[in-house]
Structure 1
Amino acid sequence: MLSKLLMPVIFTGAALFLSGCGPEEKQTSTLKMWVAPNITQETFWGAVIRDWNAIPGNPKIEFTAIPVAGSSEEAIMNALASGTEPDISTNIFIGFATQLAGLGQLTDFSTLEGYDALVNARKMKPFIDAWEINGENNVIPIYVSPIVYWWRGDLLEKLGVDRVPVTYQEVYSLSEKNVAAGGRYSMQVTAGKNWWDRWFDFVPLYYAASGNKPYLKNDRAEFNNPAGLEVLTFIQKMFLNKWSSYDFTAADDPLVTSDVIGAVRGPWDITRYREQYPDILKTIRIGPMLTAAGSAAPATMADSKGLVLFNSSDKKEEAWKFIQWVYSNPKYDVKWLELTNMPPAREDLLTNPLFSGYLNNNPLAKEIISYVNRATPPAATTRTIDVQRSMTQMIERTIFENRSPAQALQTSADDINYTLGK
């Protein structure tokens, strides 16, 4: 998951130098690829590239993890500014892709021969559409991790609750039962205090409440509406009644310590729990994003990253051949799923028999995957940090300043519209 992103003003400084970096300055005989600095993903891409390089006649590919810097985004921008960028990079989230596309750095895949055939072969059209940036398809989405709740089934059972909550009212009732039984907190409602944490609380809850409506549209805040009010009212009530805490940390997982009964966790947590907390993992039950009425199939947010091809590459044809080869071969999506537990960006995961072996052996992951086709990425905006810092301040105003949700929503929407020039 993303931890930091360069501010747009820093991007502007780097952009001053980008026009001087032409393909003639970086010609080599080998394709360069950067991948997420994550041992599991490095293992995956190492195996893929070994297979590719072993095929006679294929141009050789060298891959490395994105260099150590303040963030992957900073490393990539520094490379673009100095003309040392790779041909291909993974680990690109939609906000950063929007910034890179705005600087003219990304290839529009839809202009390349064979693009439609690849989209159809991989069954990824809904995800491609969700990743569209200003009418272009600059990213091949790699994975789509739906944001869902993990609930401790053993703790629910102790309180006489036989199913996971799906409405705000059911969470309120659960919270009251928990306090009456001597407990304190029922849920980790907010994921943290950082701007990126809004991807794991307000944003997915808003998608669920609004029926998958955008929270930004045409560079304007769209969440100051009845759906946004429902979500923020729920969050405020949980804190005002002391049923949640704003001080939970990643280091002290409150779901593991039984300090909460439910919290957002991702498919990437399955391996961690399996290795460190196997007994806890056995108790976990998956639940959807909460809504006021308890929608049968609520929308949620997709934690999703993708692959890009830089316009500066002097080997676009060879790079595109490699990308087509990887994503037209479903065995690599199967391997990705087995290694990372993060669902590949395919709409046939539950119906394609190639994935049956994994799904039959991983029922928890199968439940999470059932949400893939209703998971939408965050807004495609160059001002992700500004937008989500404003959302953080909005939540904090309702918790610590006792501002009404309506007031906090209005203030945040006004701030964002001012920032975006609207």
Structure 2
Amino acid sequence: MKIKQCAALLMAATMAAVSLVGCGGSDAASGSGATAASGDTIVVDFWTAPQQVQYNLWESRAQAFNATGTQVNGKTVTVKVQQMPETPSSEAGIQNAIATGTAPAVSENVNRGFAATLAASDVVYDLSSEDWFNDVVESRAMGETMDAWAIDGKQYVLPLYVNPMVWQWNMKGLQALGYDKAPETVAEFTEVMKAFAANKDALAEVGVTHSFYRPSLTRPDQYWDRWFDFMMIYNGVSGGKSIVEGNKLTMDRDAAIQAMEVIGTFGNTIQQGELSSIWLEEQPSVLVSINAPWEISLYRENNVVYGEDYVYGPALVNNAGDKPYNYADSKGLAFYKADNISEEEHLGAVEFVKWVYNAENSAQSDLEWLEATTMLPVRGDLNTSETFTAIMEEYPELADLAQWVPYSIPGLATDKDADIWTAFTETCTGPYMNDVMQAEAGNAPDASSYVDAAMEAMKTAGGLE
């Protein structure tokens, strides 16, 4: 199932209204809380992502929870599930709901960048000091993950799933070049690219005509793709260093240059034209792309076999044994503060999420999620817990991805994400590709001047120091 990457659309009128929203209180008679928390029942609104499979999953969980008769202040909690609006984006739908007094008590589908936007308006709860939240972190073995989710030292999201973004290699192409596994270091990668340039006839026999598929590299209107290409590579070669912290650009210049030159190493063999379902071709025409784990089910339906036709390789590192930090395509739950949400509704939402992810239920809840979506839950024990043994044996591709979950870093904690990456594309990846497309594979052009220009443009676009 493909999860769409939506821009966090910051609509001026909406955000003006959001800035006036209070922090929510204990007055159950305000807004919709008067109805939701009246009598002997507290009705908690839960919004799922705009995907039917996720709605079905959360609806079944809500029904099971409602059957427990859990109470808050002597009132029975009932969870009501609905899909969040998808147009113009789920983020805009949540912002409009907050501004118009129709916000849910809790929703999924919140990434770190959007959480930063919501936190800046004080319309989401900080969970970091909540005992129940820390218990969930422990029960899901998420200790290594949560530091990367912090926003100014606070935690506003309970991460649910993560797609570690790494490389997807054409196994037959690698074998045609004499390799039996994917490269892990920058040096190994460069060696493979030089072999690509020297062995085009051997590659042609297995249908490979291009090294890398990435049509979005020159397109600033597809700024979010920088999360998946540049940021994924940067995380690996920098050792997980930050890019933005607070109002400061902290990107490591040398690592950024190195990340761009990894892309540059593909040279003029990059496939930039739009292709449909490239990995479903009888002979895929590229050696490597950025992985798309949400397409695993599609591959299986079309007899594309993991380990034979394609294989995942880690984000590249400088030295063997370095941690392969990568970009986390990851979202989670957030609890909203708004005038229409009573304190009892908030507490009811907490009780529901606590029940789903407590020590007794969390592993089974995450197994059901994995079976339904083939997206990895944010857990540190996917390859060690007996709960997941059977599915990991059935899906070796997921087992390989799971090993990189602890090293997955979510997006920037800033509401200027779109502006920053648009500026980066305009001043760095876009113009740099003009040089790259004149170079032979294995010989990356110097990216230093483009990175320098990008860093200044990023500061301006993001209002950063």
Shared fold (TM-score, shorter chain, > 0.5)? yes
The one of 260, 282, 292 equivalent to 2:286 is 260
For residue 231 of structure 1, what is the aligned residue in structure 2? 259
Aligned to 1:39: 52
Q: Equivalent residues in 2 for 1:330-345 (5 A)? A: 330-345=363-378
Q: Which residue of 1 is the match for residue 235 of structure 2?
A: 207
* 2:261 is equivalent to residue 248 of structure 1: no
* Counterparts in 2 of 1:227 and 1:153: CA distance versus 1, 3 Å: same
Cα shift at 1:211: 0.7
Question: Which residue is equivalent to 2:10?
Answer: 7
Counterpart of 1:144, as a letter, is V
Distance, in Å, in 1 between the alignment partners of 2:234 and 2:450 is 15
Alignment partners' CA distance in 1, 2:272 and 2:238: 25
Classify the secondary structure of the residue corresponding to 1:169.
helix
1:125 match: 143
User: Which range moves more in the overlay, 202-211 or 293-302?
Assistant: 293-302
- Name whichever of 8-17 and 260-269 sits farther off: 8-17
Do 1:387 and 1:416's aligned partners in 2 also have CA atoms closer than 8 Å?
yes
Shift of 1:273: 1.6
Change in CA separation of 1:230 and 1:188 when aligned onto 2, cut-off 3 Å:
same
Tell me if the contact between 1:224 and 1:409 (Cα under 8 Å) persists in the aligned partners. no
| 1:5/1:178 CA distance change after superposition, 3 Å | farther
Distance 1:248 1:391 in 2: 22
> How far has the Cα of 1:79 moved from its partner?
0.7
Amino acid at match of 1:25: G
**Counterpart pick for 1:346 among 379, 390, 396:** 379
Task: State which of 212, 219, 225 in structure 2 corresponds to 1:187.
Answer: 212
Counterpart of 1:395 in structure 2 is 429
Match of 1:197 among 225, 237, 244: 225
Quickly say closer, same or farther: Cα 1:41–1:146, change in 2 above 3 A. same
User: What is the TM-score of this pair, normalised by structure 1?
Assistant: 0.92
Are residues 143 and 341 of structure 1, via their aligned partners in 2, closer, same or farther at CA, if it must alter by over 3 Å? Answer: same
**After superposition, where does 1:363-378 map in structure 2 within 5 Å?**
363-378=396-411
Moved over 6 A (4+): 20-23
Cα contact 2:6–2:91 (8 A) shared by 1 = no
- The answer to whether the 8 Å contact 2:15/2:95 transfers is no
- 2: CA distance, partners of 1:302 / 1:55: 35
TM-score under structure 2 length normalisation: 0.83
Cα pair 1:91 1:306 within 8 Å, conserved: yes
Give the residue type in structure 2 aligned to 1:348. D
Please point out which of 183, 199, 214 is paired with 1:165: 183
Query: Could you tell me which amino acid in structure 1 is paired with residue 169 of structure 2?
Result: W
Q: In the aligned structure 2, how far is the partner of 1:292 from the partner of 1:110?
A: 34
Flag the 1:79–1:376 CA change in 2: closer, same or farther, 3 A: same
Aligned residues of 1:127 and 1:141 also touching (Cα < 8 A): no
Are the aligned partners of 1:169 and 1:292 in contact in 2 as well (CA < 8 Å)? Answer: no
Q: Which residue of 2 aligns with 1:107?
A: 125
8 Å CA contact retained: 1:14, 1:81? yes
1:384 shift after superposition: 0.6
Matched residues in 2 for 1:378 and 1:414: separation?
A: 20
Whether contact under 8 Å (1:174, 1:186) holds in the other structure is no
For residues 11 and 367 of structure 1, the distance between their equivalents in structure 2, rounded to whole angstroms, comes to 42
1:371-417: CA deviations, max 9, x gaps? 11111112211111011112222101101367951111111110111
In the alignment, what sits opposite 1:82?
Answer: 100
8 Å CA contact 2:162–2:405 kept in 1: the answer is yes
Please name the residue that 2:296 is paired with. 270
Using the TM superposition, give the Cα deviation of residue 19 of structure 1 relative to its aligned residue in structure 2, in angstroms: 4.2
Aligned counterpart in structure 2 of residue 30 of structure 1, from 13, 24, 43: 43
Aligned length: 417
Contact 1:175 1:243 in 2 (8 A): no
Q: Which amino acid aligns with 2:90?
A: S
The offset of 1:116, in angstroms, is 2.5
Alignment CA distance shift 1:256-1:290 (3 Å): farther
Farther-moved stretch of structure 1 (398-407 vs 372-381): 398-407
Give the counterpart letter for 2:260 in structure 1. L
Amino acid at match of 2:9: L
Partners of 1:234 and 1:10 in 2: how far apart? 42
Q: 1:48-94 CA distances to partner (integer Å, 9 max, x unpaired)?
A: 11211222345111111112321000111111110001111100010
Report the Cα offset of residue 298 of structure 1: 1.9
1:222 has 2:250 as partner: yes
What fraction of aligned residue pairs are identical, expressed as a percent? 27
Range with greater deviation from structure 2 (37-46 or 393-402): 393-402
Shift of 1:296: 5.0
* Aligned with residue 175 of structure 1, among 196, 202, 206: 196
1:215–1:190 Cα change, 3 Å: farther
- CA distance in 1: counterparts of 2:250 and 2:122, whole angstroms: 28
Gap change, CA 1:290 and 1:121, over 3 Å in 2 = closer
**CA–CA distance in structure 1, aligned partners of residues 183 and 429 of structure 2:** 22
- The separation in 2 between residues aligned to 1:121 and 1:267, in whole angstroms, is 25
Report SS of the residue matched to 2:401.
helix
1:114 and 1:137 mapped to 2: Cα distance?
13
The residue identity in structure 1 corresponding to 2:293 is P
SS of the equivalent of 1:268 reads helix
Letter in 2 for 1:221: L
> Aligned partners of 2:322 and 2:230: how far apart in 1?
20
1:191, 1:372 → 2: CA distance? 25
Q: Is the 8 A contact 1:8 1:383 kept in 2?
A: no
Q: Which stretch of the first structure deviates more once superposed, 131-140 or 278-287?
A: 278-287
Are 1:233 and 1:405, in contact at CA under 8 Å, matched by a contact in 2? yes
The Cα shift of 1:339 comes to 1.3
- Equivalent position of 1:409 in the other structure: 451
Name the amino acid aligned to 2:375: M
**Residues 190 and 201 of structure 1 are in contact (CA less than 8 Å); yes or no, is this contact kept in structure 2?**
no
Moved more, 39-48 or 165-174: 165-174
